[in-house]
Amino acid sequence: MACNSSTCNSSGCYKGYEEEEQPKPNTKAAVNGGNSCQNLCVKCKVNEPVCCGIGGENSRFCKDCFKNNLYGKFKQAVTYNAMITPPDKVLVAFSGGPSSRVVLQFVHEMQYKAQKNYDANKDKSLPVFGVGVAFIDESSTHSFTSQHIEKAIEDIRLIVSNLAPPSKELFVVPIESIFSSDGIDGKERLKELLDAVSDVTGKEDLLSHLRILLLQKIASENGYTRIVLGSCTSRIACHVISATVKGQGYSLSADIQYVDSRWEIPVVLPLRDCPAQELNTLCSLDGLKIVELLNGPCSGINGLVSSFVKVLQEENPSRECTIVRTAGKLTPFHFNRVPEIHDCNVPSATRRHQKRYTLKPNGSLSSDSFCPICNSPLKKSNFPSSLRSHGSQQNPDLFASACSSCQFQILPKDPSLMEEFLSLLPQQMITKAKHGDQGNFSLLREQIQEFLFSDGENEI
Amino acid sequence: MEADSKPKKSGARLCCVCNQNRAALKRPKTLEQICRECFYAVFEEEIHQVILENQLFKPGERIAIGASGGKDSTVLAYVLSELNRRHNYGLDLFLLSVDEGITGYRDDSLETVKRNELQYGLPLKIVSYKDLYGWTMDEIVKMIGLKNNCTFCGVFRRQALDRGAALLKVDKVATGHNADDIAETVLLNILRGDIARLSRCTSIITGEDGPIPRCKPFKYTYEKEIVMYAYFKKLDYFSTECIYSPNAYRGFAREFIKDLERIRPRAILDIIKSGEDFRISTTTKMPEQGTCERCGYISSQKWCKACVLLEGLNRGLPKLGIGRNQGLNSDGKKDRKRDSRTPSIESKQCGSLEF
């Protein structure tokens, strides 16, 4: 049973366990001995410190060291996970907030350095990766004045145009474009869809699923090979708790890794090791402009989790890191690594580089089936039901193929409303609901292929 | 599940199960409107199903119910003896209580347990820290203060329960840990970074490889429903917090879960489900199991934790076994330097029981 004492120091007690990993900052300051150390950057010990990292008094950095520290984490994440390689075209998802501003800045700086190397190099074997920026305009889901939105978009255009050379294409896409029809039709359909979801948390989560689908669509239609999200440690810590609370413990490890390749265009999280507090500090230090689109505070479960993590963070500034580290010990899925490059056109140097750094595949190459709505891997592939419903292409059983969390908070409770709900969902989700079953079926077939005779075979 | 709450012409809310009696309450777990009788029935039936599905007991087994006198253990004792009768589990039930020696708290709750013995007709055994270790919690706190006291109590209680169970010669111990407790523990383990505990804390049966296995029949039972059951059945229980527990870390998780329950009652069960589903590698290093050299209790170190702590108490070294460097001297056992300031009490050899 957990110890109730906050001050208990026994190593048998939970508190002690965690404290072994993260020494409290205050004790270390005493060890440093003397005020002289307090007035110098802890890293270079030359310049005056201007800001604090997550370690509080113990991590006072000068501006350069602070920035290098953060950039270093970014660079390491990118290199170690082979996130961005020369032939890639990366799409940076930009929300306007501090995390996405920093990731955009860092990606740009990396690209800029690569460009300079390329120009200086006689042997042009490794091309420079391309960068695009995508901003998703969600104004149709809440009531901002059009002026507010237009100003925001203008600011974003300015930011992106200033990040050149190399120049970057900017996509400003309204959320309703997820449906094939655009304009008023799309807006109406989106409104109907969101209204059909009665649970507040379900609504928010559905919107975020639509967001990622739209990013996939933009990337795919424009030849991008990677999507970069600015998800930071704090955001991931909140996701760990909220996924736990929603009963998504099985799929949780899929969402919090550096790389997520279950999508058509792999999604990467290079700021996974950077706390929000430090990213905020960097933005103010470096004068990085943030476009605050107050999407309104999250309500429901997500908002509650957010405040909870905030309270914990105030009590101990390294709590978010501990949460992410714990969750990082959960077993990832086989798709949590960049797919291997089989393209012969890609220089062999790149392929060797990637092979060296890509994580080894982890155990379960099981045939995962995925929830058509949130794309989370499902715990048991429901083989029996998939075989039965394989024939019925017309009406995929959405309810049966969805995860329990989506079944509860997104799908309509009343079965008679299911048909209509299905018609409102974007095509990508419907296709997944249909083919989810087929995936299992064809995998089954693969296993017995060698024993089947090609003639006299009846398609089930 | 939302209950249909359309009132009838008379304006009375009917129980959604029997549709006859007036609804007396709203079920915290499902928000269904239900009458008292149906509530008792569904509460008891759900626990019965948990016992069956998880094969918690076998006919003929002797079971000790960890009884503190609090609501969870009182309701557990009541329901288990009722189900044992009704469904013929064929179990021999006992009440097992631990007296930590906390004046004004434990002696009051022990009175409750003694009454439970009479009310439910279950034989009671009380084991005390004083008898087992030679120290009461009051004495321990006097020596070490209010820091780390929960560690001592927790370690000692675990052993005390096992020793009491051995004395009673029972096959299993049943404790009243409820769904809220387990959900809190899952969250705590995430917050504290304890992946090894995280993989074990949702198990309904634990310690199968130890001296006495333990089970938690209330794993899916909501705390609020236990309170409701005790309230309506007018069960006799004692409800006060231990006087030595400062409000601290578990409190954060508890607050959060209370808020969660308000928005989405099923979240408590969802947390437990997540805990069960976490993909944790089975190769995560588990401590190697041996026995304590001093008393023979199960231990991964040379000495079990209780012996280490006791040694510290007896030598006037309250920090022994606490914190990072907890090694004993290489010749550990024999020298007992008496600190003249603190009263030293020779502890009984804990090896009075065979494990």
Q: What is the pLDDT of residue A442?
A: 56
Q: Are B233 and B40 in contact (CB under 8 A)?
A: yes
Q: Are B170 and B161 in contact (CB under 8 A)?
A: no
Distant-in-sequence, close-in-space partners of B34: CB < 8 Å, separation ≥ 6: B15, B16, B17, B23, B24, B25, B26, B27, B42
Same domain, residue pair B318 and B244 = no
Q: Show the tokens assigned to A358.
A: 């890509």
Helix (H, G, I), strand (E, B) or coil at A224: coil
Query: Considering the domain boundaries, does residue A35 fall inside one?
Result: no
Q: How far, CA to CA in Å, does A186 sit from each of A144, A145, A191, A419?
A: 18, 19, 9, 19
Interface of B with A in 59-98 (CB under 8 A): none
Q: What is the pLDDT of residue A438?
A: 52
Query: Considering the domain boundaries, does residue A109 fall inside one?
Result: yes
Query: Considering the domain boundaries, does residue B10 fall inside one?
Result: no
**A445 confidence band (pLDDT: 50, 70, 90):** low
Helix (H, G, I), strand (E, B) or coil at A61: strand
Same domain, residue pair B251 and B291 = no
Helix extents (H) in A180-274:
183-195, 200-221, 233-245, 252-255
Same domain, residue pair B72 and B51 = yes
**A387 confidence band (pLDDT: 50, 70, 90):** very low
Of the two residues A104 and A352, the one the predictor is more confident about is: A104
Distant-in-sequence, close-in-space partners of B167: CB < 8 Å, separation ≥ 6: B125, B127, B353
Q: Show the tokens assigned to B164.
A: 């009491």
Same domain, residue pair B230 and B156 = yes
Interface of B with A in 187-226 (CB under 8 A): 187-195, 197-198
Question: What is the spatial distance between Cα A231 and Cα A363, in angstroms, rounded to a whole number?
Answer: 26
Q: What is the pLDDT of residue A375?
A: 94
Query: Considering the domain boundaries, does residue A102 fall inside one?
Result: yes
- Span A201-220, pLDDT tens digits: 999 999 999 999 999 999 99
Same domain, residue pair A221 and A288 = yes
Distant-in-sequence, close-in-space partners of B236: CB < 8 Å, separation ≥ 6: B74, B112, B115, B116, B119
What is the distance in angstroms between the Cα of A10 and the nearest Cα belonging to chain B? 4
Query: Considering the domain boundaries, does residue B35 fall inside one?
Result: no
Closest to B328 (Cα-Cα) out of B317, B339, B338:
B317
Helix (H, G, I), strand (E, B) or coil at A158: helix
Question: What is the spatial distance between Cα B157 and Cα B321, in angstroms, rounded to a whole number?
Answer: 16
Structural domain total, chain B:
2
Residue A11 confidence (pLDDT) above 50: no
CATH code: domain of residue B223: 3.40.50.620
Residues in chain B within 8 Å Cβ distance of A243 = 274
Least confident of A20-24, A331-335, B14-18, B133-137: A20-24
Residue A372 confidence (pLDDT) above 80: yes
What is the distance in angstroms between the Cα of A406 and the nearest Cα belonging to chain B? 13
Residue B66 marked ligand-binding: yes
**Nearest CB to B147 within list A4, A7, A304:** A7
Q: What is the pLDDT of residue A343?
A: 54
Nearest chain A residue to B319 by CA distance is A10
Same domain, residue pair A291 and A376 = no
Least confident of A12-26, A141-155, B160-174: A12-26
Interface of A with B in 282-301 (CB under 8 A): 300-301
Q: Give the domain extent around A403.
A: 369-386+395-451
| Interstrand relation of B290-291 and B298-299 (parallel, antiparallel or unpaired) | antiparallel
Same domain, residue pair B297 and B173 = no
Q: How far, CA to CA in Å, does B6 sit from each of A337, B1, B10, B39, B265?
A: 53, 15, 11, 20, 22
Interface of B with A in 216-275 (CB under 8 A): 245-252, 256, 259-260, 263-264, 266-267, 269-271, 273-275
- Span A407-441, pLDDT tens digits: 999 999 888 898 899 889 998 888 877 765 555 55
Nearest chain B residue to A380 by CA distance is B277
Q: What contacts 24+ positions apart, CB below 8 Å, involve B329-335? A: B332/B302, B332/B303, B333/B293, B333/B294
- State the amino acid at position B97 in one-letter form: S
Cα distance from N-terminal residue to C-terminal residue, chain A:
54
Interchain pair A325, B193: CB under 8 A: yes
Residue A18 confidence (pLDDT) above 50: no
Same domain, residue pair A263 and A152 = yes
Query: Considering the domain boundaries, does residue B355 fall inside one?
Result: no
For the purposes of burial, counting CB atoms within 10 Å of the CB of A216, is it exposed (0-12), middle (13-18) or buried (19 or more)? buried
**Nearest CB to A11 within list B263, B267, B326:** B326
What is the distance in angstroms between the Cα of A32 and the nearest Cα belonging to chain B? 20
Percent of chain A with pLDDT over 70: 76
Same domain, residue pair B304 and B167 = no
Interchain pair B275, A304: CB under 8 A: no
Closest to B185 (Cα-Cα) out of B206, B170, B164, B165:
B206
Q: Are A378 and A359 in contact (CB under 8 A)?
A: no
Tens of pLDDT along chain B (355 residues) come to 444 444 444 567 899 999 999 999 999 999 999 999 999 999 999 999 999 999 999 999 999 999 988 999 999 999 999 999 999 999 999 999 999 888 877 778 889 999 999 999 999 999 999 998 899 989 988 888 777 777 788 889 988 999 899 999 999 999 999 999 999 999 999 998 988 889 889 999 998 877 789 999 999 999 999 999 999 999 988 877 777 776 567 888 999 999 999 999 999 999 999 999 999 987 655 667 788 898 888 888 889 889 999 998 888 887 777 765 554 443 333 333 333 333 333 333 333 333 3
Question: Is B306 in CB contact (< 8 Å) with chain A?
Answer: no
- Span A152-176, pLDDT tens digits: 999 999 999 999 888 899 999 999 9
Same domain, residue pair B181 and B221 = yes
Query: Considering the domain boundaries, does residue A152 fall inside one?
Result: yes
- Phi, psi angles (nearest 5°) of residue A99: -65, -45
Omega within 30 of 0 (cis) for the link into A166: yes
- State the amino acid at position A22 in one-letter form: Q
Question: What is the spatial distance between Cα B139 and Cα B149, in angstroms, rounded to a whole number?
Answer: 11
Q: Give the domain extent around B110.
A: 41-277
Query: Considering the domain boundaries, does residue A51 fall inside one?
Result: no
Same domain, residue pair A210 and A152 = yes
Q: What is the pLDDT of residue B48?
A: 97
Residue B11 marked ligand-binding: no
Helix (H, G, I), strand (E, B) or coil at B65: strand
Residue A382 confidence (pLDDT) above 50: no
Query: Considering the domain boundaries, does residue A16 fall inside one?
Result: no
Least confident of A96-100, A342-346, B260-264, B305-309: A342-346
Nearest chain B residue to A253 by CA distance is B279
Q: How far, CA to CA in Å, does B305 sit from each of A4, B129, B210?
A: 18, 15, 15
Q: What is the pLDDT of residue A140?
A: 84
β partners of residue A381: none
Interchain pair A245, B267: CB under 8 A: yes
Same domain, residue pair A298 and A379 = no
Structural domain total, chain A:
2
Question: Is A108 in CB contact (< 8 Å) with chain B?
Answer: no
- State the amino acid at position B140 in one-letter form: I
Interchain pair A4, B248: CB under 8 A: yes
